[in-house]
């Protein structure tokens, strides 16, 4: 069992994303950064979408009330086990009573803590992912609070491993995201959208992140008939702030859709935090498919069951 001593800004249980339910209005759900979660799970011998803790912005502590093998992957933060420093991107071991402390995230937004075992969680539509607005999944459908305990069944121990250097990503506070033109981007506005350095606003959560910056004039002057939107969609409602959609975002929207962050780079959206800089790199759909195949092949060598 693990006990939450200090829950921080937002800690939830996350698992698989939903597929095939968007026409009923169900968002993707699941880890905001599914790659980091898959890597953490892999280090403890678990499948890519095994239930794990998603920890936003760090600053938490957790007590292991029983022995565990665990791993942490994601945002940069100081980690310690009973005051002794430990490291991300490798398999770690805890004894009963050990306290893990995670400092504030200094680069990137979310850390994933996976354990070698099955964390107890509520399920719906075949996933354990917490969907906060409707209080579904995870731990009673809500964020974890101080004192909550999560049971788990310990699996047979696995050999300790360390992530290859090129997979344990180190984030900075600026992100370059590969994207394709959205249906409402005019050719004349490409230079502006792909040249601008946007800044993540304070409005940042699992639904999406606000992006402050200069948008094409008239881009946001009218709404259009509601159409499908997805994680990675950059919508521009009236005002100065665009909204880049994440895992829990709604399924349809009527605001101009200027860009779509490509599937190859969508895992990075979960690492954007207020103040970070974002620039978009233009790709055609054909180039995007090549980027995706190359990144997927690279990841698959290490985590065969993870799909971007």
Partner 1 sequence: MTQMFLLGDDCLTVSMEPNENKHSIAEHLRATKCWSEVVVGKQDITVQYDPIILPPDAALNQLEEQLSHYVIVDSALGEIIEIPVSLSAENAPDLLHVAAQIELPANKVWDHLASRTFTIDMLGFTPGFAYMTGVPEDWTIERLSNPRQSVPAGSIGILTGQCGLYALEGPGGWPIIGRALIPLFDGEATQSPLLYNANDRIRFAPDGRDHD
The span of 5-13, 36-44, 55-63, 221-229 binding partner 1 (CB under 8 A) equals 221-229
What x/- string results for residues 98 through 137 when contact with partner 1 is judged by CB under 8 A?
A: -------------------------xxx-----x-xxxx-
Q: Which of 176, 191, 281, 293 binds partner 1 (CB under 8 A)?
A: 293
- The interface with partner 1 within residues 135-174 (CB under 8 A) comprises 135-136
User: Phi and psi for 133 in degrees, rounded to 5?
Assistant: -60, -35
If binding is defined by CB under 8 A, does position 286 make contact with partner 1?
Answer: yes
Choose between 266 and 273: whose C-beta lies nearer to partner 1.
266
**Cβ 205 to partner 1, closest distance in Å?**
13
What x/- string results for residues 178 through 217 when contact with partner 1 is judged by CB under 8 A?
A: -xx-xx----------------------------------
If binding is defined by CB under 8 A, does position 281 make contact with partner 1?
Answer: no
**Cβ 290 to partner 1, closest distance in Å?**
9
Torsion of CA 276, 19, 115, 245, to 10 degrees: 10
Q: What distance in Å separates the CA atoms of residue 7 and residue 130, rounded to the nearest whole number?
A: 15
Residue 35, classed as helix, strand or coil, is helix
**Cβ 250 to partner 1, closest distance in Å?**
6
The span of 15-23, 53-61, 106-114, 154-162 binding partner 1 (CB under 8 A) equals 15-23
User: What H or E segment, with its residue span, contains residue 43?
Assistant: helix 34-43
User: Six-digit token pair at 254?
Assistant: 């009527």
Residue in 151, 180, 188 with CA at minimum distance from that of residue 68: 151
Contacts of 149 (CB under 8 A, 6+ apart): 1, 2, 3, 4, 65
CA angle 54, 58, 63 (to 5 degrees): 75
Give the burial class of 304: count Cβ atoms within 10 A of its Cβ; 0-12 exposed, 13-18 middle, 19 or more buried.
exposed
Q: How many CB atoms lie within 10 A of CB 91?
A: 21
If binding is defined by CB under 8 A, does position 283 make contact with partner 1?
Answer: yes
**Cβ 269 to partner 1, closest distance in Å?**
14
Q: What distance in Å separates the CA atoms of residue 163 and residue 43, rounded to the nearest whole number?
A: 8
Contacts with partner 1 by CB under 8 A: the residue count is 44
Chain residues binding partner 1 by CB under 8 A are: 19-27, 123-125, 131, 133-136, 179-180, 182-183, 225-228, 230, 232-233, 250-252, 260, 262-264, 283, 285-286, 288-289, 292-293, 296, 307
């Amino acid at each position: 069992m693990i006990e939450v001593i200090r829950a921080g800004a937002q800690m939830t249980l996350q698992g698989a994303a939903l597929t095939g339910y968007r026409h009923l209005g169900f968002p993707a759900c699941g880890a905001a950064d599914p790659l980091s979660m898959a890597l953490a799970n892999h280090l403890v011998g678990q499948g890519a979408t095994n239930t794990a803790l998603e920890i936003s912005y760090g600053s938490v502590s957790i007590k292991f009330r029983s022995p565990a093998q665990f791993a942490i992957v994601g945002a940069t933060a100081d980690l310690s086990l009973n005051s002794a420093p430990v490291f991300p991107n490798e398999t770690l071991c805890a004894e009963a009573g050990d306290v893990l402390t995670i400092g504030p995230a200094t680069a990137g937004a979310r850390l994933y803590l996976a354990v070698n075992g099955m964390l107890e969680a509520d399920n719906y539509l075949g996933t354990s992912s917490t969907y906060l607005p409707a209080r579904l999944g995870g731990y009673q459908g809500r964020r974890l609070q101080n004192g909550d305990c999560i049971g788990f069944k310990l699996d047979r121990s696995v050999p300790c491993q360390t992530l290859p250097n090129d997979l344990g990503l180190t984030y900075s506070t600026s992100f370059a995201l590969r994207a394709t033109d959205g249906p409402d981007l005019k050719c004349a506005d490409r230079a502006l959208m792909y040249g601008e350095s946007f800044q993540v606003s304070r409005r940042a959560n699992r639904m999406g992140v606000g992006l402050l910056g200069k948008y094409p004039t008239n881009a946001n002057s009218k709404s259009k008939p509601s159409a499908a939107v997805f994680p990675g969609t950059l919508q521009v409602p009236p005002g100065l702030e665009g909204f880049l959609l994440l895992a829990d975002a709604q399924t349809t929207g009527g605001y101009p859709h200027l860009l779509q962050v490509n599937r190859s780079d969508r895992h990075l959206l979960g690492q954007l935090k207020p103040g970070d800089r974002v620039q978009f790199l233009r790709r055609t759909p054909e180039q995007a498919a090549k980027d995706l195949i190359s990144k997927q092949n690279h990841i698959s060598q290490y985590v065969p069951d993870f799909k971007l």
